[in-house]
Amino acid sequence: MSEKHDHEEEPTTPGDRLNLRADCENCFALCCVAPAFSVSADFAINKDAGQACPHLQPNFRCGIHTRLRQQGFRGCTVYDCFGAGQKVSQVIFGGQDWRQAPQTAKQMFEVFPIVRNLHELLWYLTEALTLQPAHQIYDELSLALQETERLTHSGPAALLELDVTAHRQGVNALLLRTSELVRAEVQHKKKNLRGADLIGAKLKGSDLRGANLRGAYLIGADLRDADLRMADLIGADFRGADLRGTNLTESIFLIQSQLDAAKGNTKTKLPPPLTHPTHWHGIE
Ligand code: SF4
């Protein structure tokens, strides 16, 4: 069971994304309860929002943790709360879990996706502040980071009132400017594939340096040995994409869950702080 203790938090600073990583030890398994599941390739069961998954144990641990993919719960292996789980559990709700305090459970489950949304923005803003070509907008990025961090501490009632979509749009405008500044560093003509349908596309060895791949559908695409340096990959769907030997160093706005949903190997080059998923091990 998660230990109950005062959870002191350091503010998010550029280059430091430790607070934005899931700490399941200090979370009341909110991702196993708050969202609804529908039977699909990602989930073996239907479940309503706010209903605990039947595999969740009394100690807030998963009963099938080592067999998630085999048991049809691939969606759980690629989920990332960006550290929202521990903040909602320990900071916003003061370490009182939803079993002990059923009167606040509904509020906790509704607050969780809002804080997750804000933490995702914190992740991207923190990355943007490490990108040298974006230095001319560092002040605006820093202000957006501080404001987003402040919102995550504004309490359950205020969070439920928050217009997250409007805040997200403001941050997204800054991330777009960051993207343009970074991709301008690539001298040759860059591909604009924003939102493109590239499902199953044969892109082996392609030069996609500086490409705009925001929200592109790359499900099952063959990207072996492709060069995606300085490409904007925010929201790109890499489910089942083949990233063996792909160069993703200096790509921007790539997150771990995108890699977790793809296939790659030790030759796949990644930007820090991302890591090779364990299910890539042993793939040639
Ligand atoms: S299968 Fe395990 S990780 Fe997935 S929702 Fe259920 S308890 Fe959580």
Please state, as a whole number, how many other Cβ atoms lie within 10 Å of the Cβ of residue 280: 18
pLDDT of 29 above 70: yes
Give the pLDDT confidence score for residue 281 in this predicted structure. Answer: 85
Give the distance, in angstroms, between the CA of residue 170 and the centroid of all CA atoms in the same chain: 19
Which residue ranges make up each domain of the chain?
18-35+79-181, 190-277
**Which ligand 1 atom sits nearest the alpha carbon of residue 37?**
5
Question: Which residues neighbour 244 within 8 Å (Cβ) at sequence distance 6 or greater?
Answer: 224, 225, 263, 264, 265, 267, 268, 283, 284
pLDDT digits (tens, 9 = 90+) for 244-282: 999 999 999 999 999 999 999 999 999 988 999 988 987
pLDDT of 12 above 60: no
CB distance 55 to ligand 1 below 6 Å: yes
Q: Which CATH superfamily is domain 190-277 in?
A: E3 ubiquitin-protein ligase SopA (2.160.20.80)
The mean per-residue pLDDT over the stretch 15-34 comes to: 89
Distance 254 CA to ligand 1 centre (A): 25
Distance 23 CA to ligand 1 centre (A): 15
- 189 band by pLDDT with thresholds 50, 70 and 90: confident
Rounded Cα–Cα distance for residues 141 and 127 (Å): 10
Give the pLDDT confidence score for residue 179 in this predicted structure. Answer: 98
The amino acid present at 77, given as its one-letter code, is T
Give the pLDDT confidence score for residue 16 in this predicted structure. Answer: 61
pLDDT of 46 above 50: yes
Distance 61 CA to ligand 1 centre (A): 8
CB distance 98 to ligand 1 below 6 Å: no
- 7 band by pLDDT with thresholds 50, 70 and 90: very low
Distance 152 CA to ligand 1 centre (A): 25
The mean per-residue pLDDT over the stretch 114-118 comes to: 98
Distance 257 CA to ligand 1 centre (A): 16
Give the pLDDT confidence score for residue 19 in this predicted structure. Answer: 84
Helix (H) or strand (E) holding 118: helix 105-128
- 134: alpha, beta or left? (left if phi > 0; alpha if psi -120 to 50): alpha
Average pLDDT of the residues of the chain:
92
pLDDT of 4 above 80: no
Is residue 14 reached through a cis peptide bond, with omega within 30 degrees of 0 on the bond before it? no
- 205 band by pLDDT with thresholds 50, 70 and 90: very high
CB distance 62 to ligand 1 below 6 Å: yes
CB distance 32 to ligand 1 below 6 Å: yes
CB distance 64 to ligand 1 below 6 Å: yes
The mean per-residue pLDDT over the stretch 183-202 comes to: 94
Alpha helices in 190-268 (DSSP H): 256-260
Distance 64 CA to ligand 1 centre (A): 7
**Which protein residue's CA is at the shortest distance from atom 4 of ligand 1?**
76
Rounded Cα–Cα distance for residues 150 and 165 (Å): 16
Give the pLDDT confidence score for residue 83 in this predicted structure. Answer: 96
CB distance 37 to ligand 1 below 6 Å: no
Look at 273 and 27; give whichever has higher pLDDT: 27
